[in-house]
């Protein structure tokens, strides 16, 4: 039950944060936003290192650092880039691939054999999410520099985001299966890996753009970091610790449904079709959970 509640909590926190981050992607580079949010989140969770003992295997620390580089450093950068180019809802529509990718990777790499009922639930969730978010052939944003003629670029950023996120989650799950590390500590180690990677990628040049934005926007940005990065990743780690990655990711992927509450912000009309497939999605989640 803890894992299930954590998944829904992480999805809610992440979705709200994404709407705030997207407003900043129109002004600043996605890699700068990702780096600053990770640095601030890391500093907030710095007390987690108190729990780091000499008995902690270096192998697990190394795996978590790699997980942070792939899942947070690369994954979040691709995600923010996708938010900038095609918007939140459309980005999430591509991310509907994540439950199936996570389930296949869990079964292939760490032998997490799901029941037939769970597989059916994951497929239902994936199909429902895609239909909920799909709006005709609408992959064009009003202020976007991308058009229907370069669909490859439209799909590349969210797909790479999904791939990196699933790989990062898989590595975290592997560590939890072979150690007693806490979600709190693993979150901090993953953030450290992402920060080191992004700083090197930036040539050790950090753009502290927070100084340039209004105080009201600064507060919103800090809230989004606490919700989306600190609480979001922490709850995500709880999910990876307590649930098979395929099941956990299916629950985490409910972000698109939560994004419907922000529908007016992106001119999203909630139709009867969306309501039907939202109910169908929850039927799929019920199959997974029970």
17-56 residue pLDDT tens? 777 777 666 677 888 888 888 999 999 988 888 877 776 7
What are the structure tokens assigned to 232, written together?
């979001």
Q: Count Cα atoms within 13 angstroms, Cβ side, for 67.
A: 26
User: 10-residue block means of pLDDT along the chain (290 residues)?
Assistant: 86 78 72 87 88 78 94 88 74 78 88 87 84 54 47 75 91 91 92 94 80 78 85 91 88 73 54 75 80
Residue 236, domain extent: 2-289
What pTM was estimated for this model as a whole? 0.83
Q: Count Cα atoms within 13 angstroms, Cβ side, for 233.
A: 33
What are the structure tokens assigned to 283, written together?
């039927």
The Cα 113–Cα 249 span in angstroms is 15
What are the structure tokens assigned to 28, written together?
């600043």
The model's pLDDT over 239-284, given as tens digits with 9 standing for 90+, comes to 999 989 888 888 888 776 766 665 455 545 667 777 777 777 778 8
The Cα 122–Cα 126 span in angstroms is 6
How many domains does the chain divide into?
1
The Cα 245–Cα 112 span in angstroms is 8
CA distances 151 to 139, 146, 159, 160, Å, are 8, 8, 12, 14
């Amino acid at each position: 039950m803890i894992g299930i509640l954590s998944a829904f909590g992480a999805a809610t926190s992440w979705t709200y944060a994404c709407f705030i981050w997207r407003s900043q992607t129109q002004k600043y580079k996605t890699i700068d936003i990702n780096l600053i949010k990770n640095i601030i989140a890391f500093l907030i969770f710095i007390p987690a290192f108190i729990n780091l003992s000499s008995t902690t295997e270096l192998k697990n620390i190394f795996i978590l650092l790699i997980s942070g580089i792939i899942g947070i450093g690369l994954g979040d950068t691709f995600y923010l880039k996708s938010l900038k180019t095609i918007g939140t809802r459309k980005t999430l529509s591509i991310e509907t691939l994540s439950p199936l990718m996570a389930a296949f990777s869990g079964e292939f790499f760490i032998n997490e054999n799901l029941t037939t009922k769970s597989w059916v639930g994951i497929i239902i969730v994936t199909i429902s999410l895609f239909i909920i978010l799909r709006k005709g052939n609408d992959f064009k944003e009003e202020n976007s520099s991308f058009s229907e003629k370069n669909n490859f670029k439209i799909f590349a950023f969210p797909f790479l985001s999904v791939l990196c996120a699933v790989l990062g989650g898989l590595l975290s799950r592997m560590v939890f299966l072979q150690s007693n590390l806490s979600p709190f500590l693993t979150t901090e180690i993953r953030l450290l890996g992402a920060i080191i990677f992004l700083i090197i990628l930036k040539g050790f040049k950090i753009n502290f753009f927070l100084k340039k934005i209004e105080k009201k926007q600064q507060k919103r940005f800090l809230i989004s970091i606490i919700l989306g990065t600190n609480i979001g990743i922490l709850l995500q780690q709880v999910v990876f610790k307590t649930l098979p990655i395929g099941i956990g990711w299916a629950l985490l992927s409910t972000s698109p449904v939560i994004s419907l509450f922000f529908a007016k912000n992106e001119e999203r009309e909630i139709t009867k079709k969306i309501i039907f497939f939202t109910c169908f999605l929850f039927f799929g989640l019920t199959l997974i959970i029970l």
